[in-house]
Amino acid sequence: GNSVTQMEGPVTLSEEAFLTINCTYTATGYPSLFWYVQYPGEGLQLLLKATKADDKGSNKGFEATYRKETTSFHLEKGSVQVSDSAVYFCALETRDFGNEKLTFGTGTRLTIIP
């Protein structure tokens, strides 16, 4: 079945550093791909998404490109801030007996140090 594999955390960076969080997927067809973010004490919220190959999702300075050839959807940001400290989840759309739902990765905890 469909699955995602995320870079293991935790990740600790200094403010203004470059960020990459790796995500690779296994799927039949070309499912939509997502990054969700969970700030401390909150539920998850959508950060960005891409619905087809070569699409680039972007939001709040974060970007991710849907790479069919490498089955990847890596999350990047050029200059992180303390406020980016959170847990990041990669997810893909899965079809189950005609019903669509999301399958999440295990999450990557990011801590940004001033």
Partner 1 sequence: NAGVTQTPKFRVLKTGQSMTLLCAQDMNHEYMYWYRQDPGMGLRLIHYSVGEGTTAKGEVPDGYNVSRLKKQNFLLGLESAAPSQTSVYFCASSDRTKELFFGEGSRLTVL
Cβ-contact 62, 12 below 8 angstroms: no
Site pattern 4..33 for partner 1 (x: CB under 8 A): --x-------------------------x-
The Cα–Cα gap between 2 and 104 comes to 10
| Residues found in the chain | 114
Residue of 21, 23, 25, 34 interacting with partner 1 (CB under 8 A): 34
**Rule CB under 8 A: which of 44-103 touch partner 1?**
44-46, 49, 89, 93, 96-97, 99-103
The Cα–Cα gap between 84 and 104 comes to 20
Query: Which residues sit at the interface with partner 1, rule CB under 8 A?
Result: 6, 32, 34, 36, 41-46, 49, 89, 93, 96-97, 99-107
